[in-house]
Chains A and B, each alone.
Chain A
Amino acid sequence: MSKIEIKKDLKALNNEIAAENRDVFKKNNIYTINIMGSPGAGKTTLLENILKPLADSFSIAVIEGDLATANDSERIKKLGVEALQINTDGGCHLDARMIQEELSKIDLNDINLLIIENVGNLVCPISYDLGEDLRLVVLSTPEGEDKPLKYPPAMLNTDAVVLTKIDLAQFVDVNMENMEKNIKDINPKADILKAGKRDGVYNADSVTEYIVKRVGSKKEQ
């Protein structure tokens, strides 16, 4: 029996394309955000609420990833923001090649902020680099305070965790302090942001401010 040594990363091809995407973003001065989280965590609602204030400072395009339907891109278009829809037909995540294909449909000179909303899933999307600058994991409080401990790679491979539906925590017996501690126990470097309704009005100001700050600090580099 003979042995053929290979030692190759199974994600090597995706990582190569992600690096190409990163070059394209850099050349065109586009800051890119990858938003991930479970189905129903509130990713699109968060997006709807941060797009309006972000549009004051940036020219934005959004790529929506879902197994099926164009519901999410339609929701974004209603806000007057350019939105493209990827349907993965059962695929559980977006990969770098899918993003590369979509980039050919956008006038890259026209935008300086690209926001990608990944397929709803707290496992698979985490493993796929798309070439983004910033990763946000959206976790809604009704999912339970132990979820960070159950999904360590999602907590580890993100810049920030956005806790959504914070107004619902009290109704589902979720202790926010424990939830935050569980995030920090996995990834002490993760920033924790909060969004939800206060007095009936959705507030995601901390997320908008965070993004503006992160884009600013990248420009200074």
Chain B
Amino acid sequence: MHETSLMENMLSIAEKAIEGKNVEVKRVTLSVGKLSNALPAALSFAFEAMTQTGPLSGAELVMEEIPVRVQCENCGCNYEPDEFPYICPGCGGIYYTVTQGEDIYIQSLDCLEK
């Protein structure tokens, strides 16, 4: 359940972003990499539990999944792999570097002026 600690970080980043602004946060948008090791259902649950009170109370959580992208270490081509094992569609190479889909980002806050 490290989703709770991720959510704590999210809240502190969001609270910093609205510091000194007289706004009401209506929506929080998160981008969750498919390989980020974070479970969207657990993130939702943590968000709900941790925004019962405080500056984000009443806000809605929206999550966008970021697909995995990798670069083939043999031919250099970039592709979006399907299932494991990842095999380069260009050259059949099996060695790759993940270029997208491992991170989890807070993208934006939608706010209403109070």
Contacts and interface: CB of A to CB of B under 8 A. Distances in A.
The main secondary structure of chain A at its interface with chain B is mixed
Given A1-B111, A6-B14, A186-B84, A153 B105 contact: no
Contact of B2 (A9, A127, A156): A127
B99 interface: no
The main secondary structure of chain B at its interface with chain A is mixed
A9 B103 contact: yes
Interface in B2-41: 2, 5-6, 9-10, 13-14, 17-18, 23, 26, 30, 35-38
Interface residues of B, number: 34
Contact of B111 (A2, A93, A149): A2
Contacts of A117: none
Interface of A: 1-14, 91-93, 95, 123-124, 126-128, 149, 152-153, 156, 184-186, 188-189
27 contacts: A1-B110, A1-B112, A2-B111, A2-B113, A3-B110, A4-B18, A4-B109, A4-B111, A6-B17, A6-B107, A7-B106, A9-B103, A10-B13, A10-B104, A10-B105, A11-B9, A11-B103, A12-B9, A92-B1, A123-B37, A124-B1, A124-B37, A127-B38, A152-B84, A156-B98, A186-B85, A188-B85
